Amino acid sequence: MKDSLFFLRQWAMAPLRTAAVAPSGRALARLMTSEITPATGRVIELGPGTGVFTNALRNRGVAEHNITLVELNPHFAILLKQRFPAARVLQMNAADVSESVDMQEDSAGAVLSGLGVLSMPTGVVVKIMQGAFRCLGPTGAFYQFTYGPRCPVSDGVLNFLGLRSERIGGTFFNLPPAAVYRITRVPSWPNEALYHRAANNASQRELGASNR
Ligand SMILES: C[S@@+](CC[C@H](N)C(=O)[O-])C[C@H]1O[C@@H](n2cnc3c(N)ncnc32)[C@H](O)[C@@H]1O
């Protein structure tokens, strides 16, 4: 079955979770992976779907055994295991990624996120970002795409976790057009704070309104 039809079926079964009716295009995949090289080391991908970004990672020379794919949908996870047999495929919630026995702290150079974070509650976004940065080394970066005009991780969440975002580019050759943001640690911020500030303690005022 063609990927677009398979993807559409997954969307029909779980529209909010799938967050798109079709896989991302190649131009967006190239942009998402444009700063990644084999020297990046381990790459974690959250919400890989049919593996469009994973394929682009391979095209950039990242060895499959250096890629960890975290996908909640079991149908996508089975497909990913077939397509990328040497990659580590974890069928689990991205919000629990740092609790997985398969994950080690500071072990990754980059996290790519295909998650639809705009449709997620703030507490879940905080948990995903905390978990991802626990896995990322000190200079590691988190890449997130969006169809919207701003970084989809709100300023409130970024400030709360001591993170900052920068738009690295956009493409009209995607349906819909999309932009990619690089999220990194603010260098002066104490990293333990990022790890230990629990999502539950984040008051709505502290996190501010979302960027939507
Ligand atoms: C917008 S699609 C992106 C798919 C792919 N990265 C692409 O760009 O074509 C979002 C993906 O995230 C997955 N997903 C949604 N919530 C998730 C979660 N909490 N943990 C892991 N994966 C999740 C969905 O199953 C889907 O594969």
Kindly give the number of the ligand 1 atom that is closest to the alpha carbon of 20: 1
User: What 3-state DSSP class applies to 18?
Assistant: helix
DSSP string, 142-172: EEEEESSSS-SS-HHHHHHHTEEEEEEEEES
pTM of the model: 0.90
Q: Whose CA is closest to atom 9 on ligand 1?
A: 23
In this model, does residue 58 exceed pLDDT 90?
Answer: yes
Phi and psi of 124, rounded to 5°?
Answer: -70, -40
Q: Whose CA is closest to atom 14 on ligand 1?
A: 47
Q: What is the pLDDT of residues 105-140, one digit of tens each?
A: 768 999 999 999 999 999 999 999 999 999 999 999
The CATH code that applies to domain 20-206 is 3.40.50.150
Take residue 127 and report the two structure tokens written for it. Answer: 């948990």
Average pLDDT over residues 28-39: 98
* 112, β-bridge pairs: 45, 143
* Residue 6 Cα to ligand 1 middle (Å): 14
Domain ranges of the chain: 20-206
